Structure 1
């Protein structure tokens, strides 16, 4: 980071990792083991399809009741496109595999 600003590649949608204790995952497993948890973070460029242009205009200028009552997000978001399973040993020495726990790749979805 130069001058306190994030580089462009640091703001783009990408895979990040955290080393976490299994107990901190919030899934109810008693284990002091640590696992590598991968997640997606970052921004995505706005789409410019006809749908996106129309939705953007409606959200800015419309007083249509159904649009005012909803939370509508018009742009794409950074999400996992593939997942991977994570295996660990619990405090009772039993193996567990949690399917699709960690992101394997990321992309701009929507």
Structure 2
């Protein structure tokens, strides 16, 4: 069975199927530098993972979309402290021309394993 959390007509905050969780997150703010937006974004990712039955120790794959690859060091400075040691997922960083809102600098696509019950 597919489980959906935070479902609207357009999207769900997360979906879970056969123990695998999928979610996409953007910052809730459009101001600030990449460090501020990344901190905000990763807080939201952790909340969504918890709602869906997982946590950051169970990340499988993360795709990072940046509007400016010059922001990668700022992103990594927050990311490296957020990911638990020994739990780094497979990861890709992709530069995009724009995101859905002009102020957003980063967006992530996350795949995680559900916590063991």
TM-score using structure 2 length = 0.30
Which structure has more strand as a fraction of its residues?
1
TM-score using structure 1 length = 0.31
Larger radius of gyration: 1
Which structure has more helix as a fraction of its residues?
2
